[in-house]
Amino acid sequence: MSAEAITPDRTHAHCRSCDSTDLTIFLSLGNLPLSDGLLEPRQLVDNEPRYPLDVAFCANCSLVQILETVPPEELFGADYPYFSSFTDTLLRHSEANVRERIAERKLGANHLVVELASNDGYLLQYYKNAGVPVLGIDPAPGPVAAAREKGIETLQAFFGNDFAKELVAKGRRADVIHANNVLAHVADTNGFVAGIATLLKDDGVAVIECPYVKDLIEHGEFDTIYHEHLCYFSVTALRALFSRHGLYVTRVVPLAIHGGSLRVFVEKQNRPEQSVQEYIESEQRLGLDRLDYYADFSKRVDQIRTELNDLLHGLKDRKARIVGYGAAAKGTIMLNYVGIGQETLDFVVDRNTHKQGRYIPGVRLPIAAPERVLAEQPDYVLILPWNFKDEIMAQQAEYRRRGGKFIVPVPRPTII
């Protein structure tokens, strides 16, 4: 399905997975800037592009999705600033994942592990260190260069079925394919899954992680909805998508990372473990396969906006100094949707040196180094990537010891 099919005529949108037109919008976040498009100082004179964020449910295959498809060149351009290795939690999570796969599949020098959206090699480095051959595939030049510096063979490309066929023609097929937080990002969902089917050996396994739509809805995680993130998966929707390409979900493992995610194992043999049926049944019981389940989400999102605004305005009325922590995508959505700008936050800090000196899109808050929190000791730090709040509060233990307080916006705005 091409991007053009969806973007201009949204009243005739087709489901990204099953092509049905039976889509119902249940949340509109309005026109928002691109969440990762951090601005250079020279760009502050320009008007930024904004795109609608409307979230819809497909009554045919249960897939939750946004209707807008921003061209990938705009999303993953040369200045795409995300380097995975900057997050300790993510590295530990990845290392454990690799250890489990090596033990389970008895992987060694005669196997090949491929990661789709391999970023800077944050995951593949652990296979490489264990002597298992690896191949990374990623479209963003910065992270690809960083991976190659670590000696991790990485091809700069958007993955799809044609690309998979080229690899297979060169004699490269995968024993294990990893795809973490990428399936939801690709515009051609079916082409990507077809590519996995092509590249995977007959006895191979694809290990795919994606945020779970159940956690998004139950915990009010509306700020994980952004233009890069096209789909919001349930096991029901994933199973329909994979089975269309001769792939079967054989195991489902819940993960705490990113506010609640799924690790889904996909194979060419239909031999599901019990966990798959348990998830399907629980989703039917809760109603994830029906529109009703999503119907009041919009009201709850609106309530978070009201409560966070009231909280911040109340603090500002008492002359409190507040800064933000974490210039991640969800921060852009939270700040822009709630309407938190320079009148409320002095600045936002981020550990990623590539982000420092830039500005948050839309609200145009400057991004500084985390050391400024201790240097200036503001009264409150608003934690934007709340999924890493424990890590952030641990890093800022000294700030807290000196009497500083944190605000966590989701699931309900709370002072800690």
Among 27, 39, 61, 382, binds Zn ion (CB under 5 A): 61
- 105-164 residues near Zn ion, rule: CB under 5 A: none
Pairwise CA distance, residues 83 & 211, whole Å: 19
DSSP summary character for residue 40: P
Burial of 285 from C-beta contacts in 10 A (0-12 / 13-18 / 19+) = exposed
Strands in 88-230 per DSSP E? 113-116, 134-138, 154-156, 174-180, 200-211
Contacting range for Zn ion; rule: CB under 5 A; set: 62-70, 87-95, 167-175, 192-200: 62-70
In the complex, minimum distance from the CB of residue 62 to Zn ion, in angstroms, rounded to a whole number? 7
Instruction: Examine residue 244 and tell whether it contacts Zn ion (CB under 5 A).
Output: no
| Residue (15 or 363) nearer to Zn ion, CB | 15
CA distance 10 to 350: 36
7, 28, 60, 156: residue in contact with Zn ion (rule CB under 5 A): 60
Q: Which of 6, 32, 38, 58 binds Zn ion (CB under 5 A)?
A: 58
Least Å distance between CB 291 and Zn ion?
Answer: 12
- β-pairing, 380-383 vs 322-325, is parallel
- Cβ proximity to Zn ion, 15 vs 167, nearer residue: 15
Whichever of 58 and 75 has its CB closer to Zn ion, that residue is 58
Residues 6+ apart with CB under 8 A from 147: 118, 119, 120, 121, 124, 136, 138, 154
- The count of residues interacting with Zn ion (CB under 5 A) is 8
18 vs 114 by CB, closer to Zn ion: 18
CB of 58 to Zn ion, least distance (A): 3
- Reported as type and span, the H/E element at residue 283 is helix 274-286
From the list 60-68, 147-155, 274-282, 329-337, the region that binds Zn ion by CB under 5 A is 60-68
Residues between 7 and 36 with contacts to Zn ion, criterion CB under 5 A: 15, 17-18, 20
Our CB check for Zn ion shows the closer of 59 and 168 to be 59
**Residue carrying structure tokens 């250079």:** 40
CA torsion, points 144, 150, 154, 159, in degrees to nearest 10? -60
Question: Assign residue 291 a region: left if phi > 0, alpha if psi is -120 to 50, beta otherwise?
Answer: alpha
CB of 5 to Zn ion, least distance (A): 14
What whole-number distance in Å separates Cα of residue 416 and Cα of residue 414?
6
Angle at 196 between CA 222 and CA 185, to 5 degrees: 20
Q: How far is the CB of 254 from Zn ion (least distance, A)?
A: 24
Question: Minimum Å distance from CB 163 to Zn ion?
Answer: 25
Q: Nearer Cβ to Zn ion, position 61 or 338?
A: 61
Determine if 177 is a binding residue for Zn ion (CB under 5 A). Answer: no
Task: Name the residue type at position 143.
Answer: P
Residues forming the site for Zn ion (CB under 5 A):
15, 17-18, 20, 58, 60-61, 63
